[in-house]
Structure 1
């Protein structure tokens, strides 16, 4: 599972005139030039603004450093080139013996610096630093929840939005001997002591590292290599349930949910006509996504943290072209972003209604994580006697669903995964 770091929803309240007039904004990185395009006339866009010094060459595998302010204007009218360093995989989670334990999860340290940059600069864009939400999907949701526990005393953000993932999602780094990094070093003739491996690999082009790891993965060669977060007791912990029950989390409100058929695309191999084995797909849905979300919600409730829970059940042919896919892992994203008509043709009127309702709810949460959703009739988790929100089921845009119906799917399981037994 690739780590999608995070998405920031800042609830910026641009008035039309302000969005058009204020395309030159001063930031801690330097002045930036934005733009307004023809498809979103009421939205000022600023793309690819740097918030850290580039972690390249001698700075590779070092903690992030804030971007020094420059005098020349930063062109924020287009995204930069695809960059293996914004730090995923080996560049963001090296698990190398020559690096301090507390500096192994570099991608998560970058995330914190990104949130700090938003806090320091959002007002210049017309936003409110008191209304920042940290938003992620899948591994991005996991990283958002990691953040929730890592910065409990100064979270900066006012709320969390987590699609299909949480800190309890099973995602253990099994390379406890830290051999994967050395294996890569050996391939590039960088074998030696732990410091030499790092020094030598810093001279290898990122493109070469990425190409080797890509080819190695696709060839299914053994040993399997994985560069993912490790327990460092700074950004990632081993005992999230215990920490939650002890109140060691930010207690900021969270909007958390899953899709009804998360596991459909995750069963390999599968029959193209008949789809994957339903029992296998259901097992993955429960063990990997649904039940960890149930446990997370229970833990948050015990810690007196507000949680709004949903289940997405939309089944739209322009998003789920195979009849058996239905509401699969990530299929809710095009609806909440309103991009459902871009890939495989325009959506239906019902799809439009679902999308717009989701956007209204998500925006209400971002504007006021405590009171926004209750004003629209969506109340926080109150135990199994309460109700969650079911989205896109049948011909209903939104409808309540008993929490007991969701949680009953996990009655035959016990909380597990790396964060319960390590």
Structure 2
């Protein structure tokens, strides 16, 4: 009987299959029902300890839509309790599968998350209106740098290099993009500078980690601290006195795609974005396709899993690692440009806010797969935007809890929902050619 993997790959030439994407039949069977039960309990406690009345309006259109979807008006209390019952049923199904030692399907936590979120929002927004377009479009906006960083992390670790320096690459990319775009008057020149800046940080990482065999985690952390200190110094000494000429780049505006941008609900969310977001769509597709469908991708995965075997068949291990982390750094640098050319117009100190570490969490949550890491980054972006939405509608939740919500979800996702996860076998291990 033949077996299949998530990503069919070309002939491996005798190399072992990619275990990082191979499904594990019983992985995480206990973690999924446990997390679902805890989250369901939290929703139940919220419903039991507070009271709500009235209806919740979910707005599904924006004023610029050519065909507007009607608002969805739901009774707050009834919807919340019905969704709680749905969550209980899904949790019971997860427990049944755990007891039967059966695989937990991906659809189960996805449906659970949708039901839980509908019940939670219906309860918290009783008597108010929530714009679904703003909720999801804002989530994508916050997730864009995370996706760029996560892709850089996936590529680096697939090649066997732990890229802790993602945050430094994002920050230095934002810095270089702002200065270059200000001097040239072109945001596109700023994007090019951001890729160079990210690749430069990756080059330093490779020099110490690949050539001189220094611990990769330590090098990454030191680079992050170095970039923070360097950009803070230059911001204070150079950018602030010359803000008009060096830190006033032209901001990239939304560029709606004809026809696609007019699709109700989907169009305003995905196809009324700045050009950099469309570039990201292409990069995600190219990385996912190249990593599993090309000879280059096979070589990258080979040096991350079995560098000795790869060397035996003629693959230059360290050269491949250098090239891959340079590409990874360039991609992460583009994510930094989003901060200074799209989110705001200009660079500010430590403006990434540690996003590189959240991107690393997305890499782990996504099991070192570009598509899964992208979805994980979108989840974290949604968590950040949800905190802002709940605050704007006056949800009776302590503000400290709202601020910590993205990080709590990150911890739950990485520690609980990811199941058993194994990085590439040679990840973080320097290769000494015999």
TM-score tier after normalising by the smaller chain length: under 0.3
Provide the TM-score with structure 2 as the length reference: 0.26
Which structure's residues are more often helix, by fraction?
A: 2
TM-score, with length taken from structure 1: 0.27
The higher relative CO (CA closer than 8 Å, separation ≥ 6) is in 2
